[in-house]
Structure 1
């Protein structure tokens, strides 16, 4: 039996034993189901209740998890203001909300409440409006929370902190002196680096915008809808931090930008989402004006994240090539259609 298979089996055995930390005197079952990209997920059945067991794969940092869980628990106190679910970490009998595996790697696990639903696939205008409202409601709720703990994740605009292997010089070298295997993407990489520098120049302006807690990764994969298509939950607060308030909206709109759609349809989709959002958040003119650039920032953040994964040997070349193409197409499209997102006129 190969070492890799043995490690997988060992991890499954450890996962199977983890619920005992929360339910020492109860019987449970563990099942595999759909999960996120960054972490290992299992579903725990205890009586007639279901919970979500998450094994954090992206880091072993207890401070990051403690901050995430603290924000969620603070949100629980104002849950009545949110007409949808958010995951709540379950406290262990002896206190705390996380367990460190004895696997020699220091992986961390936590148990969360479960909400039944599916990720949205196609969104009509009424759903986009309701989801815009939901994001506005969450942003308004997060604005009321003052954390004593310091956030571990940097804001989006601190691009030198996106990935430890992607400091500014490493990004410059890769984009402007691409390895031979990436020469077919040379033009795309040079364009991406130009947008990176434009963003870098705008950082002093972004720092002056209103700041607060933001989820930072609201997209279709982190939302659940019920059988009627209504929003049931916003999930995965792993990257919650303090950032420019408007970045929450920029992340959502970035997910809606699909260059294959007509300009009229894209404009309608984005404006409909924004109309829902603005019912709860009144952006300043400065926030509205810089929104198109922040949508680009989200795309560049994804590129830098996957560049780091490639440099670390986590992803093969093909994955990064796809990300380069997607980043180039979306940032170029945004530059050519910047008038589409002029929310400062609203």
Structure 2
């Protein structure tokens, strides 16, 4: 995803899909399994908030101490923000709108979206939080790709002021949700050390950059 046209196409596709999901949610025409990135106990049968806390307190491999402290801080903040988050608009969310799940034509436009396995009702702004984190994974430290994406996305889907206020926190809590899933995967025998190392370095730096684009 190195060209601006691809970023624009992604922003348009994400915005259009969010609008379409809102229609489905309003009509109640779809049923999905409960899954919310702000409700960590819904994310993996072998993991949850307690399992994540135990894992970072007694890790099977070396992880940064400051990363552990940051995760615990975010977990506390998640409790403190519960009422505010409950007030945010909710609808069906894809949860996995990564570039790998978007089909691209030769002219750079998007032709389709894949992998709806994690689609479920959640906070609407989570979709944008996921996409911005993913965008910054490909363009670390760069502000312009975020601005391009947001301009096109906002032309399709407008989030309200409360959602935009919570967006930086949702970008961070997305990573906490991923860590919760990885703890479950570790319990099932998968190697998650590399994923933990990346996530501990990605929180906050991505958020600060995205916040500057607003």
What TM-score results when the alignment is normalised by the length of structure 2?
A: 0.88
- Residues 52 and 179 of structure 2 are in contact (CA less than 8 Å); yes or no, is this contact kept in structure 1? no
Q: 2:12 matched to 1:147?
A: no
* 1:195 matched residue in structure 2: 74
* Partner residue of 1:159 out of 35, 40, 44: 40
Q: Which segment drifts farther, 282-291 or 126-135?
A: 126-135
The residue matched to 1:233 in structure 2 has which SS? strand
Q: Using a 3 Å threshold, how does the CA distance of structure 1 residues 227 and 256 change in structure 2: closer, same or farther?
A: same
Larger relative contact order (CA 8 Å, sep ≥ 6): 2
Contact 2:91 2:122 in 1 (8 A): yes
Q: Is the 8 A contact 1:259 1:333 kept in 2?
A: no
Looking at secondary structure, tell me which structure has more helix per residue. 2
The match for 2:165 among 283, 289, 299 is 289
For 1:104, the equivalent position in structure 2 comes to none
Task: Give yes or no for the alignment of 1:240 onto 2:110.
Answer: no
- Structure 1 alignment gaps of length 5 or more: 1-121
Q: Secondary structure at the match of 1:212?
A: strand
Task: Give the match for residue 136 of structure 1.
Answer: 15
Which structure 2 residues correspond to residues 292-303 of structure 1 after superposition, within 5 A?
292-303=168-179
Residues 326 and 339 of structure 1: CA distance in aligned 2, closer, same or farther (over 3 Å): closer
- The 5 A counterparts of 1:1-346 are 122-145=1-24, 146-148=27-29, 150-176=31-57, 178-179=58-59, 181-182=60-61, 184-185=62-63, 187=65, 188-258=67-137, 261-262=140-141, 266-313=142-189, 315-316=190-191, 320-334=192-206, 338=208, 340-342=210-212, 345=214
**Distance in 2 of aligned mates of 1:149 and 1:259:** 33
Cα distance in 2, alignment partners of residues 342 and 203 from structure 1 = 25
The answer for unaligned runs of 5 or more in structure 2 is: none
Offset of residue 148 of structure 1: 5.0
- 1:272 deviates by 0.9
* TM value normalised by structure 1: 0.56
Match of 1:42 in 2: none
SS in 2 for 1:289: helix
Aligned residues: 211
Separation in 2, partners of 1:311, 1:326 = 19
Considering fraction of residues, name the structure with more strand. Answer: 1
> Following TM superposition, by how much is the alpha carbon of 1:326 offset from its aligned partner in structure 2, in angstroms?
0.9
Root-mean-square deviation (CA), in Å? 2.1
